[in-house]
Amino acid sequence: MTSLIHHETLRDPSRVQLTDDGRLKHFLTTEGLSAELLTEILDTADSFISTQERAVKKVPLLRGKTVVNLFFENSTRTRSTFELAAKRLSADILNLDIARSATSKGETLMDTLWNLEAMYSDMFVVRHADSGAAHFIAEQVTPNVAIINAGDGRHAHPTQAMLDMLTIRRHKEGIAGKVVAIVGDILHSRVARSQIYALRTLGAAEVRVIGPGTLLPKDIEALGAKPFYDMKQGLADCDVVIMLRLQKERMQNALLPSEGEFFKLYGLTEAKLACARPDAIVMHPGPINRGVEIESAVADGPQSVILNQVSYGIAVRMAVMAMAMSGQQSQNSSEEMA
Ligand code: NCD
């Protein structure tokens, strides 16, 4: 994996995803984005939650634009909420079925992209198994085409992180000062990395990661998260508990004794959840594996906001798409004037 990582770019993501005057033009990572910009995404998403509660859910912000969903990896929630988000912004959306596309006949990633660009596409939503794939594409597409990262390898999943921030903000009255624990397979999780950057920038009091040593990345403290190997200690006084799936498809070696052993130590049960604050919320990006990282009594219980996260995903994706498209247009018009 990681064959597409451009270290230069990944060290300075702002250069690629922001316009000269600091507006979003692609959305590749939460790393390096200011609290103001992250808050603007959340505020814009909040306004789209109210438009979706109306009888007519559509707004015309992307009317006449063409969005292409380009998923090289499987997805249920992310792909369908991006599709609904594009439709609710009045865009046309093309869902490419990669399994049936020419990629399986040996076409390169950029050749696929350039062909789709030739169909007058305005935005690509990209999920790819290689870390850095979305950056790589964003650096090479035609200037007015926006790239939204829907998950690249184990690197980043920024829209998931922002829908998680919106969930915390709406259910816990803000992110500043909150203690948040992320539990399980942190090592392979692009979601956890994107969440940690966003939580630190938005002023969470403490970000904890809980799991076996084999599933916690070595650089986790440098990212601003505090490692815990004991679930009960890690959950003590938490406001938010985020569970993650064991991402076996990304595990190259045997990193776990067994699923049963993992559940015993790190699976979220009602008994373990009792160590967190009584009003703590339980989150999970999905797909959940019942009885592996979370028991059904908790997943379906009163503290779970897992399905709310899915609903907020549409509003967050609408916000990011609308902001990136508007950033592209402003960049274009300032270049024309220059
Ligand atoms: C996550 C992903 O794809 O990274 N899922 C998601 O987008 N909702 C997490 C996972 O696959 O476990």
- Measured CA to CA, the distance from residue 264 to residue 260 in angstroms comes to 6
166: containing domain? 158-308
Q: For residues 136-165, give the mean pLDDT.
A: 96
pTM for the whole structure: 0.95
Same domain, 162 and 79: no
Least confident of 195-199, 257-261, 295-299: 257-261
Do 150 and 11 lie in one domain? The reply is: yes
Least confident of 138-147, 158-167, 317-326: 138-147
150 with 235, same domain: the answer is no
| pLDDT of 337 over the 80 cut | no
The closest-lying atom of ligand 1 relative to the alpha carbon of residue 78 is 7
Percent of the chain with pLDDT over 90: 83
pLDDT category of residue 332 using cuts at 50, 70 and 90? confident
Whether the CB-CB separation of 9 and 131 falls below 8 Å is answered with no
CA distance 174 to 204: 9
| 129 C-beta closer than 6 A to ligand 1 | no
pLDDT for 109 beyond 80: yes
CA of 285 to the centre of ligand 1 (A): 6
In a domain, 164, yes or no: yes
Q: Give the pLDDT confidence score for residue 59 in this predicted structure.
A: 97
Residue among 191, 242, 289, 310 whose CB has most ligand 1 atoms within 8 A, to mutate: 191
Are both 105 and 172 inside the same structural domain?
no
Instruction: Find the mean pLDDT for residues 230-234.
Output: 98
Least-confidence region, from 17-31, 106-120, 223-237, 259-273: 106-120
In a domain, 338, yes or no: no
pLDDT tier at 10, thresholds 50, 70, 90: low
Residue 2 has pLDDT above 50, yes or no: no
Q: Of all atoms in ligand 1, which is nearest to the CA of residue 191? A: 4
In a domain, 37, yes or no: yes
**Is residue 303 packed enough to be buried (19+ CB in 10 Å), middle (13-18) or exposed (0-12)?**
middle
Total Cβ atoms within 10 A of residue 307: 12
Same domain, 222 and 283: yes
pLDDT above 50 for 1: no
pLDDT at 7 over 60: no
Please check whether residue 251 lies inside any domain of the structure. Answer: yes
Q: Is the CB of 78 under 6 A from ligand 1?
A: yes
Looking at residue 11, what is its pLDDT?
60
Tell me: do 96 and 66 sit in the same domain.
yes
